[in-house]
Chains A and B, each alone.
Chain A
Amino acid sequence: MEEALLRAVLFGTPILLAGLGALLAERSGVVNLGVEGMMALAALTAFAAAQAYGPLPGVLAALGVGMLSGLFLGLFAVTLRANQFVAGLAVAALGLGASGLLGKRYEGLPLAHPLPEGGFALVGAVLALLVHLFLTRTRTGLFLRSAGENPKAVDLFGVSVDGVRYLALGLGGGLIGLAGAYLSLAYRPSWTDGMTAGLGWVAIALVILAAWHPLRALLGAYFFGLLFFLQFRLQGSVPIPSEAFAAMPYLLVILVLALSGRSRAPKALGQPFERGR
C-alpha cells in the first residue's frame, strides 16, 4: 500500500509538471499540443547539460529550453495566428524528431549523478499550489485567465493579449521542461530516443480531466500514477487480462470525459485573438 502511494506520486510527477505547463497555456486561451516534443527536447537538453556540467545546470538548461520552445509555439499560435492544433502538433513532431537526431551521441550512456525523484515530486506538488495561487490571487493571473475567457476585455484594459499568452506559454514551457528533466535525470537517468513514450499526451488529457484546475491536476496525476502501478501490481493476481490493464488509464479518461458532460474549458480556447473582431 505504502509502495503504491509512493509510486503514484513518483510516476505522477512528470505528468503533473507537464500537465501544469499545458494548463497554464490553455487557461490563457492557447491549446498546446506540443507537450510531448517539448518534453523530449528538454529531457535531452537536461541529460546533455548534466553530462557536461552536473545535474543542477541540467535542470536549468531544461527549464530554459522548455521556455524557449513554449515561446516558439507562441510565434505560430499567437503572433502568426496559425491554427493552434496544427502548430502544436508540428512542435510535438519537431521536438521528438530533433531530440532523436541530436541525442544520438547520448544513447546508451548512463548518468553519473542522478537526482533524487523525491525532490522533483516535492517541487511538483508545491508548483501545483503556486500555479493555483498565481491564477486566483494575482493580477497577472487574472489577466491570464481573462485572456482565455474573454480576450477582448483584456485588450480593453490596455493589456496585450498576445503578451499574456506568450507569458503563459513561456512559464508553461518551463514546467514542461522540468517534466523532461525529471525523466532523464531522475526517473530514468539516461537518454533514449522517444523516452517520453506518450506521457506528454497523457498530460494533455490530464488538463481536461482536471477541468483546467491545478489542484485537481495534482490529484489526477497521482491517480494516473496509482493506476499505472496497480496495473502491474495486480496483473496475474486478479483474473483480468494484462491488455485490459494496459488500456485502463485511457478507458478511465474516456469515462470521465463522458461523465463530465459539458466541460468547463476556457471560452476563448483555441481561438487566435484578433483586434476588432
Chain B
Amino acid sequence: MRRLVLGVLAALGLALGQGDKLKACFIYVGPVGDAGWTYAHDVGRKKAEAALPWLETRYVESVPEAQVVPVIDRFVREGCRVIFATSFGYMDGVLEAAKKYPDVLFAHATGIKRAPNVATYMADFYQVYYLNGLAAGALTKTGKVGYVAAFPIPEVKRHINAFALGVRAVRPDAQVLVRWINAWYDPAKAREATEALLAQGADVFAFTEDTPTVIQTAARKGAYSFGHYTPMLKFAPDHVVSGQIVHWEVIYIDFLKKVKEGVYTPKNLQNVDYFWLLQHGAVEVGADYGVPINPKHVPLLKAAQMTVEGKKVPVYDRIMSLLEAMRRPNPTFDPFTGPIKDRKGVVRIPAGRKATLNELLTMEWAAPGVVGDWPGEPR
C-alpha cells in the first residue's frame, strides 16, 4: 500500500514537473558540428534553453529532407509542443505533419508557406553583406573581389547583390567574380573555387559554404576574407576582416516566450513570419562576437576614402554609421533602396523606395559588377 501511494505521488510529481516545462524540439538537416548552419541553430537552441528556465529542448541531427515526417511523429509522441524545422526542404513535410497534429506549433526556417499552426522565420544577412562589401571595396587592390557561392537561389543571390552594391559604392569599377559550387557543404570544391579565383586575380573573398575553407585558402596567398555564419577569425587572424554572424537564439527566445505567454497558439500562426535583421539583433557584422572589424584592419579602412553624397568620408566611418542606422528600431538606411539597376541596365528597384519583402525573397537579377554565370537571370 505504501509503495502504491509513493508510486502515485511520484507519478504525480513527475507529471507536475513536466507540466511546468515547455518542450521544444529541433530538426536539423546537418550535423551539429558542421561549424555552419546546423551548428549555429544548435547554439541558438542552447542559448534559448539557458535563458528560459521553463524550457526543455531536444534535437535530432542530420535528418534527410524526406525523413522529416517520421521524426515529427516521434517528437509528438515524446510530448513536443513546439517543433522547429531548420531546412527549406522540410517545407512540405512540415505542412503535412501540421495537419496531422493541429495542436502542435511548428516553425519552419527559411520557409515560404504557412498554416494556422506553422510559422516561418529567417535571420537574414543582406544588410551585413552590404557593410562587408564596403570593406571589401576598400581593401581590394586588383579591383577583383571573389565570391564562392553555394546554390543559385534567391537567398544567395540577394546576399551577393548586397555585397556587390557595397563593393561598388566604394570602388565603382570593381568586379565581384562569382563561382558556384552547387553545394552547401563541400570543402574541396570551396578550396578549388577559391584557387581558381586567386589565379584570376581576386584578392578579397566572401562566400557561402559551411566551412572556413575559403578563409584558409585565401590567407595562404595573403588575401583578405570575410567569415560566414559563425565567428571565423581564429582560422586566419591576420586576414579575416569581418563577416556575417547569426543569432538564432534571438528568434527562438522571442517565439518561445510568446508561446509560453499564450500570444502564439496553434490557431494564429498563419501570418507569423520573422525576417529578422540587424535591428532585431538576429544577425551581427563581425569577425568575432562583438568585434565588428578586426582591429588589425581598422587603420586600413580609416585611410580608405569613399564618396557619399559628393563628400569624401573614410570607409570605416561609413560602415560604422550605416551599422548604427540599420540597428535602430526604425532603420534609416537599407542597401536595397532605389534606384537600383541590374547588371543589364534594367531598373529593378525604382528611385525613392525600398525593396519589398517579396522582392527580396524572390531576387533573381544580378547587381552591376557581378561577373560570372548566373543561373536563372531574368532576360
Chain A interface residues toward B at CB < 8 A:
3-4, 7, 11, 100, 103-104, 107-110, 187-190, 192-195, 197, 199, 228-229, 231-233, 235-236, 241-243, 246
Contacts and interface: CB of A to CB of B under 8 A. Distances in A.
B186 A197 contact: yes
15 contacts: A11-B191, A109-B234, A110-B216, A188-B187, A189-B216, A190-B211, A190-B212, A190-B216, A229-B192, A232-B181, A232-B192, A232-B197, A236-B372, A236-B373, A242-B182
A195 B31 CA distance: 12
Q: Which of A109, A110, A190, A232 has the most CB of B within 10 A?
A: A232
Contacts of A107: 33-35, 39
A105 to B, nearest CB: 9
Contacts of B234: 109-110
B185 A194 contact: yes
B244 interface: no
| Across the A-B interface, the 3 shortest Cβ-Cβ residue pairs | A236-B372, A232-B196, A107-B33
A235 B180 contact: yes
B361 interface: no
Contact of A188 (B34, B152, B193, B216): B216
Q: Which of B32, B185, B193, B195 has the most CB of A within 10 A?
A: B195
Contacts of B34: 107, 192-193
Given A189-B216, A194-B31, A199-B188, A243 B182 contact: yes
Nearest to A228: B192
A197 B371 CA distance: 28
Contacts, number: 102
Q: Which of A187, A194, A195, A243 has the most CB of B within 10 A?
A: A194
Contact of B213 (A104, A188, A235): A188
Nearest to A10: B195
A100 B31 CA distance: 8
B372 A11 contact: no
Contacts of A189: 216
Contacts of B32: 104
Contacts of A235: 179-180, 196, 372-373
Interface in B173-189: 177-182, 185-189
Contacts of A7: 192, 195-196
B199 interface: yes
Contacts of B371: 236
A236 B372 CA distance: 4
